[in-house]
Amino acid sequence: MTRHQDSTAITRVACAILFIAFTYVYLRFYQADVLAMAQHILSDGVTSYQRDVGAVLLTLILSLLAWGVYALTKLKDYTHALVYFPSFLLLAFITSPNEPMNQEVSYGSWAWILPLSLGVYILLVIFAKKYGELFKVGKEDVFHSPVVWINLGQILLMFVMVMLICNHQDVFHYRMRMESLMIKGDYRSALRVGRRSLDTDSSLTMLRIACLEKTDKLGERLFTYPLEGRSAAMQANGTSVRTVMWKDNRKRHTIDYMLTKFLLDKDIDGFAKRIRKCYQLDSAYVPKHFREALVLYTHMRGNPSVVYHDNVMDADFQDYQALAKSFADSVMRANALRDTYGNTYWYYYQYAK
């Protein structure tokens, strides 16, 4: 085998390995829930997407497509990586649906982008075939020949193209991942999705409320998450608060759910009036956020209808107030309070919109 043949073989193998590895990881770990959403809608919920099987099958199909393009075009040397362009284009297409409205999958402007891109690609292939001899690789050492690195560079550029085109909206990904887990009844795992992100919307808030209610943690953990939409986000309304795959079949709600509605609307007077009928306030079973709300209410009202004290929580609230007073700048104050007390009802009450 000549050095030129070595270079050609290494180029083909390296491009194939890189393409297969990227495609599988991308489909299995990043876009699986978006594909699950698309399949759910397109099949009317009759079939469901299996992330492991789907990633393998789609990777195989896209690889076969690339190898078929190679069989037709025989692109080699500096242009070999171009045989993967149709596969990358199709990969970008299937993972770029917009958030569905009215239970319809929308792929935006792909109706003209796809044929236009393929047309330009065909012209590029014709040019490469016609003038390919000008860029033919000579007898160079395999590891010193730029052909391998130029082809790998083209593959990497196509990776970037896919990542820029695909649906990369974090909150939408969180929602689809949560819904996939909630369909399986795995509410605890769903609550870990996007746990460290400050990004949210009303629909994501609703999903988290549903999961917390299912796991009896609503009064303990709700305000550890960024929230949006107040009490209107507690139930799907089909417009600003909606689901795609998971259907809310809750017929009755817990006491904590009803009390949480007051807290989301910052109605601590209504909350204080209602909680007396639901909890023995001197017991150890009052959830954390409810105790925080009671401490806040006791300190804010000159003549509170409920007086609640908890030594540890009272001390924490005093520290919260002291930290707030230590910053003259409102932005610095909000950031400092979020870093330390962003998981409390006090922070939500003061800063949530």
Block mean pLDDT (10 aa), the chain, length 353: 62 94 98 96 91 97 97 90 97 94 84 94 89 59 72 96 96 98 96 96 97 96 97 92 89 88 97 92 89 96 90 95 96 96 97 90
Q: What is the pLDDT of residue 271?
A: 96
Q: What is the pLDDT of residue 132?
A: 64
Q: What is the pLDDT of residue 128?
A: 85
Nearest-angstrom CA–CA distance, 332 and 143 = 54
* Bridge partners, 58 (sequence order): none
What is the DSSP annotation of 151-202? HHHHHHHHHHHHHHHS---HHHHHHHHHHHHHHTT-HHHHTTTTTT-----H
Burial class (CB in 10 A: 0-12, 13-18, 19+), 136: exposed
Task: Supply 138's token pair.
Answer: 């000579």
Q: What is the pLDDT of residue 1?
A: 47
CB 321 within 8 A of CB 294: no
CB 90 within 8 A of CB 62: yes
**Cα of 107 vs its chain's centroid, Å:** 18
Beta-strand runs (E) in the chain: 98-101, 104-106
One-letter amino acid for residue 45 of the chain: G
3-state SS class at 344: coil
Residues present in the chain in total: 353
Q: What is the pTM of this model?
A: 0.91
* Bridge partners, 106 (sequence order): 98
DSSP state of 147: H
Nearest-angstrom CA–CA distance, 345 and 291 = 9
Q: What is the pLDDT of residue 204?
A: 98
Neighbours of 166 (CB within 10 A): 19
Q: What is the pLDDT of residues 210-269, one digit of tens each?
A: 999 999 999 999 999 999 999 999 999 888 999 999 998 877 788 999 999 999 999 999
| 123 Cβ contact partners less than 8 Å away, ≥ 6 residues apart | none
Which of 91, 80, 93, 107 lies closest to 24 in space, CA to CA?
91
DSSP state of 135: G
Q: What is the pLDDT of residue 5?
A: 54
Q: What is the pLDDT of residue 345?
A: 98
- Cα separations in angstroms, 94 against 13, 164, 171, 343: 26, 13, 19, 38
Domain ranges of the chain: 3-168, 169-254, 266-353
